[in-house]
Chains A and B, each alone.
Chain A
Amino acid sequence: SQTIHQWPATLVQPVGSPLSLECTVEGTSNPNLYWYRQAAGRGLQLLFYSVGIGQISSEVPQNLSASRPQDRQFILSSKKLLLSDSGFYLCAWRRDGDYGYTFGSGTRLTVV
């Protein structure tokens, strides 16, 4: 069966520090991978998606970036965090032709 792992679960980082959140999927190959952010009291905002290794599409301009160094690994990064980067970050995967997502357990990021 397929599983998705996301870590860390919580993170407190100072403004200006770097960020690296990791997401891996097991039990499938060539998944479509997604990073969403959920800010307090708001819905989900799609940040990045990837349909293959090295292929990243950005949905919104920001100081975050994403990379996909391996087929089942998706990394969300920042060189310098802003206070506004605080939120709940969710990784998700979907197979081509599938109609729904499977979400990871999320990372709560607090920038102080």
Chain B
Amino acid sequence: AQSVTQLDSQVPVFEEAPVELRCNYSSSVSVYLFWYVQYPNQGLQLLLKYLSGSTLVKGINGFEAEFNKSQTSFHLRKPSVHISDTAEYFCAVKDNFNKFYFGSGTKLNVKP
């Protein structure tokens, strides 16, 4: 079984600063990788996904993530955050058996 680690439970950052949310998974066997965003009291919304091809994936709201197979990482980045980016972000992995594994989430708190 896979495990997904989001090392930072909370990330405070000032508006317009860059941010990186870290995600590591347990196996380098072929996997599909996702980032979801959850605004307060809402469901999860897909930000971006890596299936194959270019290791740099661009998503919605100016976010991007880079798949690093050797480091089994899929960190999420944004060069300049907005107050509206305040939310919880989940990294997820889908394995070859169609099972999804979610990280424990990182709460991004953007301050003015």
* Residues of chain A whose beta carbon lies under 8 Å from any beta carbon of chain B: 6, 9, 41-44, 46, 90, 92, 99-106, 108
Contact = CB atoms under 8 A, between A and B. Distances in A.
Interface string B70-110: 00000000000000000000100010000010111100000
Interface of B: 9, 32, 34, 36, 41-46, 49, 51, 90, 94, 100, 102-105
A106 B46 contact: no
Given A6-B43, A90-B44, A106-B41, A43 B103 contact: yes
B42 A43 contact: no
A103 B41 CA distance: 13
A43 to B, nearest CB: 4
B90 A44 contact: yes
B65 to A, nearest CB: 14
Contacts, number: 42
Given A43-B90, A44-B90, A46-B100, A103 B105 contact: no
A63 B107 CA distance: 30
B79 to A, nearest CB: 24
Contact of A43 (B43, B94, B105): B105
Q: Which of A100, A103, A105 has the most CB of B within 10 A?
A: A100
